[in-house]
Chains A and B, each alone.
Chain A
Amino acid sequence: MSRRWLLSGDRIAVFVMAIAIALANGALAIAQSRFVDSGARDRDFGFSQWQDTSEWAGGMTSAQVPEWKLGVQADNTETGVVIRSVTPGSAASRMRFEPGDIIITVNGFQVGIVNDGLYDLREELTRRADKEGFVSLIVQDHINRSLHKVQVRLDGSQSALRGELIYRERFTLSPDAIVAINLENVSRPFAVVRNGQVLYRLNSSAPTIPFEINYDPAYITPQDIYQVRATISSGGRTILETRQPARVLTQGNPNQVKLLLSAPATTVGNTGNALAGAPPQVITAGYPNLNTLLQQQVAQVYRQYLEREPFPLEWVTWTMTPGASDRIASLPLELMASQEYFDKVGNSNPLWFASIFQSILGKRPSQREVAEWMRRFAEVGNSRTELLRQLYTQASAKR
């Protein structure tokens, strides 16, 4: 249910007051349009739904938005965000916010805990602030409980990685072209940087594309090495990519870079040990950050074990998986452990076991083997993943 109209108990009282304030300064129409939803309250599926999909807007904007900060430590409660402390010199301190003050809305949108979900102040500030960093807050004064509508100019984020994408090929980029720019931890690829990925539709055919990544500096470890790379894909193929990712941010590397994009190589060789890691210069296609070889491998494993193509959401998951070329090695076991596979091969433990045995050892299990492995299955707490690992380890040892 949308938090714009699911108001209960105390919150309704607060909102009546908020609307009274809005009325006082002539903004009732705005307040009404924000808090009153025209749709009927929908409880027919018996449990909550979230219809305010702006929460998911994340990377969908035409370019990444900078992060804005108020400068408070705060606790989320069901009546709003209660300020615990104020950072000296911050926007909050300039506005004379004090511990105990409660922030109730950001540009009319509730913050804090609503219907068991959290509407985080940091996210709302970033989402609702205008280009200059201005937002309008409704704040309850902790001394006399009065409500105030205040206009605040937030502090901008200083942690930006800026640069330009340059390409020399003569192209007319189609309107559906997607630019993907990734800030990656080279030392520990699994450590994803918050706001370190930008993906947007390109609405320009200029040969130079400025970009900015407003990453979260809390995720940057000075001891680690970072790089940035980019791809432009269109119509299911990657048409431009950085052959040479640029080192950035730490270890004396800059926070401003020029990335040269060029057309990807046109062929993919049979590398023989494809799973062990794709060569860095192979072409990428279709999905950003996922090269053709990996894409073929992922699709092949899904066809092999689930007899279907990966769903779009599964594809996108792979494009976001750090170290995807390593991860794919465990995909066959992951799919064989899945409920979908279990269902597909007959929805019973013995049938499932016979099927994985056949896949891994290339033959049917004997009755004795079935009995022995079913005993082990009970021992490992009926964990399909664990049984697969044991079976696989045994198969490896025999080779």
Chain B
Amino acid sequence: MARTSVLSVSSVALLCAILAPMTCLNAQVPAAQAPNNSAGIAELYGMLQAIEPYRKTTEVSGKVRVVGSTAMDTVAHMWSTGFKQFHKNVAIEITAAGSADALKQIVGDRKVVAMLSRPVKDDEIEELKKAGVQQPTRFIVAREALGVWVHSSNPLPSISGDQLRAIFTKESSAEIPTWSTLGVTTGPIANKPVKIVLRPETSGTHAFLKEFVFAGAPMREGGQILQSNAEVLSAVSTDPEMITVCGLRASGKSVRSVPLFAGGKPVASDDQAVLSGQYPLTRYLTLIVDMSQTDAQAKASQEFVHFALCQTAQLDAIRAGFFPAELPKLRAGLDQLQGNQLR
């Protein structure tokens, strides 16, 4: 079925009526916490302004089918709403069937936009080609930042990729490290072994750690497995010996995300560091289209990807809990779609 509903003006008014009692929009509401760090605001603003705004060069029409990641469903709907402001005669159908299904779908229908909440490997692209997708092309459209979380009383100053690997994989040692080997040499936890908690293997976070961060190294068993970010952080909040990796946008009481040691220095897990690309632990979200397809529907799909790489869509990604892709990645994507620009 086509999913093209957009909140119309009248429905917006109705929504307001329905939600108004809950959102208490009146003058009694305390003033929003005003930020007082104008330098920080200017910096974030500058970073986002550097992303190319979308400009319609040709009008497209027809149906765009976007298939894949459930985690990207919300952001894909936002992109759909934004895209249709520019292209009135486009219908967009979004199906959240999971990242694994996305690759099957593009083999079955080479005009779809496949949506994966993870990076796509070279050999997967080769597989698609063997299956008849002539020119499968990857576009990095957003990032999810992952945090390394500990109890807020845990004094761990920062953690390196190698240390993370030693904790979560059994590649270097069957013995789990103690906190002192990570640099916590005093205090009650110094000689205690690190306790691991993670989300299940079926979660995107776990799969990403295993395949992309630890490059297939055998994961350490025996850690606690909990379903959601919220549960994982809740467990960490009760135990200063515990460590986890989960979404940086998750939040909880009595926990903190540790700076990551990269490029010879600790990198804070803040918005600036993630946006600029200095923060190293981020998971790419990917769209794939077959660039060899040239009919109207394929052109509309390609234009949808173009929109996703531009400013409005990147702001949508932030609203959906992700981060924009790094600027060079966005530009590389635009270049693959358009090429040959006047400079």
Q: List A residues at the B interface (Cβ < 8 Å).
A: 39-40, 42-47, 49-51, 53, 55-61, 69-76, 81, 84, 87, 113-114, 116-123, 125, 176-178, 188, 190-194, 197, 199-201, 218-219, 233-237, 268-270, 273-276, 285-288, 292, 295-301, 304, 308-309, 311-317, 319-322, 326, 329-330, 332-334, 337-340, 343-344, 346-347, 359-360, 379-386, 389, 392-393, 395-396, 399
A383, B3: Cβ atoms closer than 8 Å:
yes
A296, B15: Cβ atoms closer than 8 Å:
no
| Among all A-B residue pairs, the 7 with the closest Cβ atoms | A117-B328, A58-B50, A44-B161, A50-B277, A236-B34, A347-B228, A60-B46
Q: Which residues in B have their C-beta under 8 angstroms from that of A44?
A: 160-162, 165, 262
Does B38 sit at the interface, judged by CB under 8 A? yes
**A339-B321, A381-B97 are known contacts. Are A275 and B43 too (CB-CB below 8 A)?**
no
Does B311 sit at the interface, judged by CB under 8 A? yes
**A194-B53, A236-B35 are known contacts. Are A304 and B341 too (CB-CB below 8 A)?**
no
B342, A392: Cβ atoms closer than 8 Å:
no
Q: How far is the CA of A190 from the CA of B7 in the complex (A)?
A: 16
Dominant secondary structure of chain A at its interface with chain B: mixed
Q: How far is the CA of A72 from the CA of B329 in the complex (A)?
A: 22
Q: How far is the CA of A297 from the CA of B73 in the complex (A)?
A: 25
A178, B42: Cβ atoms closer than 8 Å:
yes
Q: How far is the CA of A340 from the CA of B320 in the complex (A)?
A: 9
B278, A340: Cβ atoms closer than 8 Å:
no
A384, B341: Cβ atoms closer than 8 Å:
no
Does B174 sit at the interface, judged by CB under 8 A? no
Q: Which residues in A have their C-beta under 8 angstroms from that of B78?
A: 334
Of all chain B residues, which has the CB nearest A379? B1
Given contact pairs A59-B50, A320-B49, a sample of 20 additional A-B residue pairs in the complex whose CB atoms are under 8 Å apart: A45-B262, A55-B277, A73-B340, A74-B341, A76-B335, A118-B335, A199-B45, A237-B34, A275-B13, A285-B31, A314-B318, A316-B45, A317-B315, A339-B247, A346-B228, A382-B70, A389-B7, A392-B15, A395-B18, A396-B15
Q: Which residues in B have their C-beta under 8 angstroms from that of A344?
A: 230
Does B260 sit at the interface, judged by CB under 8 A? yes
A385, B73: Cβ atoms closer than 8 Å:
yes
Does B155 sit at the interface, judged by CB under 8 A? no
B49, A329: Cβ atoms closer than 8 Å:
no
Q: Which of these binds chain A: B125-133, B184-192, B208-216, B236-244?
A: B208-216
Q: How far is the CA of A315 from the CA of B319 in the complex (A)?
A: 10
A329, B16: Cβ atoms closer than 8 Å:
yes
Of all chain A residues, which has the CB nearest B264? A39
Q: How far is the CA of A122 from the CA of B74 in the complex (A)?
A: 34
Candidates B12, B31, B227, B335; contact of A296 at CB < 8 Å = B31
Does B62 sit at the interface, judged by CB under 8 A? no
B24, A300: Cβ atoms closer than 8 Å:
yes
Tell me how far the C-beta of A230 lies from the nearest C-beta in chain B, rounded to whole angstroms. 15
B341, A118: Cβ atoms closer than 8 Å:
no
A296, B312: Cβ atoms closer than 8 Å:
no
B46, A57: Cβ atoms closer than 8 Å:
yes
Q: How far is the CA of A113 from the CA of B271 in the complex (A)?
A: 26
Tell me how far the C-beta of A126 lies from the nearest C-beta in chain B, rounded to whole angstroms. 10
B16, A276: Cβ atoms closer than 8 Å:
yes
Does B20 sit at the interface, judged by CB under 8 A? yes
Can you list 8 A-B contacts with CB-CB less than 8 angstroms, sorted by A residue number? Answer: A49-B263, A84-B340, A237-B34, A312-B41, A313-B318, A329-B12, A340-B250, A384-B73
Q: Which residues in A have their C-beta under 8 angstroms from that of B5?
A: 386, 389, 393
Candidates A120, A191, A337; contact of B343 at CB < 8 Å = A120
Q: Which residues in A have their C-beta under 8 angstroms from that of B251?
A: 308
Tell me how far the C-beta of A58 lies from the nearest C-beta in chain B, rounded to whole angstroms. 3
Q: How far is the CA of A55 from the CA of B96 in the complex (A)?
A: 34
Q: Which residues in B have their C-beta under 8 angstroms from that of A123?
A: 331
B320, A334: Cβ atoms closer than 8 Å:
yes
Q: How far is the CA of A44 from the CA of B215 in the complex (A)?
A: 11
Q: Which residues in A have their C-beta under 8 angstroms from that of B165?
A: 44
**A190-B85, A312-B40, A317-B318 are known contacts. Are A343 and B53 too (CB-CB below 8 A)?**
no
Tell me how far the C-beta of A221 lies from the nearest C-beta in chain B, rounded to whole angstroms. 10
B73, A382: Cβ atoms closer than 8 Å:
yes
Candidates B29, B94, B326; contact of A117 at CB < 8 Å = B326
A58, B47: Cβ atoms closer than 8 Å:
yes
Q: Which residues in A have their C-beta under 8 angstroms from that of B215?
A: 46
Q: How far is the CA of A313 from the CA of B48 in the complex (A)?
A: 9
A320, B36: Cβ atoms closer than 8 Å:
no
> Which B residues from 1 to 36 make CB contacts under 8 A with A?
1, 3, 5, 7, 11-20, 22-27, 29, 31-36
Does B44 sit at the interface, judged by CB under 8 A? yes
A396, B18: Cβ atoms closer than 8 Å:
yes
Candidates B7, B278, B327; contact of A51 at CB < 8 Å = B278
Q: How far is the CA of A153 from the CA of B244 in the complex (A)?
A: 54
Does B154 sit at the interface, judged by CB under 8 A? no
Q: How far is the CA of A190 from the CA of B79 in the complex (A)?
A: 13
Q: Which residues in B have their C-beta under 8 angstroms from that of A122?
A: 341, 343
Q: Which residues in A have their C-beta under 8 angstroms from that of B328?
A: 50, 55, 114, 117-119
Q: Name, among B49, B73, B231, B339, the residue most crowded by chain A CB atoms within 10 Å (CB to CB).
A: B49
Tell me how far the C-beta of A349 lies from the nearest C-beta in chain B, rounded to whole angstroms. 11
B96, A382: Cβ atoms closer than 8 Å:
yes
Does B257 sit at the interface, judged by CB under 8 A? no
A42, B271: Cβ atoms closer than 8 Å:
no
Tell me how far the C-beta of B167 lies from the nearest C-beta in chain A, rounded to whole angstroms. 13
Q: Which residues in A have their C-beta under 8 angstroms from that of B104?
A: none
Does B223 sit at the interface, judged by CB under 8 A? no
B34, A285: Cβ atoms closer than 8 Å:
yes
Q: Name, among A330, A382, A393, the residue most crowded by chain B CB atoms within 10 Å (CB to CB).
A: A330
A312, B278: Cβ atoms closer than 8 Å:
no
Does B111 sit at the interface, judged by CB under 8 A? no
Q: Which residues in A have their C-beta under 8 angstroms from that of B96?
A: 381-384
Does B276 sit at the interface, judged by CB under 8 A? yes
B44, A300: Cβ atoms closer than 8 Å:
no
Of all chain B residues, which has the CB nearest A268? B27
Tell me how far the C-beta of B87 lies from the nearest C-beta in chain A, rounded to whole angstroms. 12
B23, A297: Cβ atoms closer than 8 Å:
yes
Q: Which residues in B have their C-beta under 8 angstroms from that of A49?
A: 262-263, 277-280
Tell me how far the C-beta of B247 lies from the nearest C-beta in chain A, rounded to whole angstroms. 8
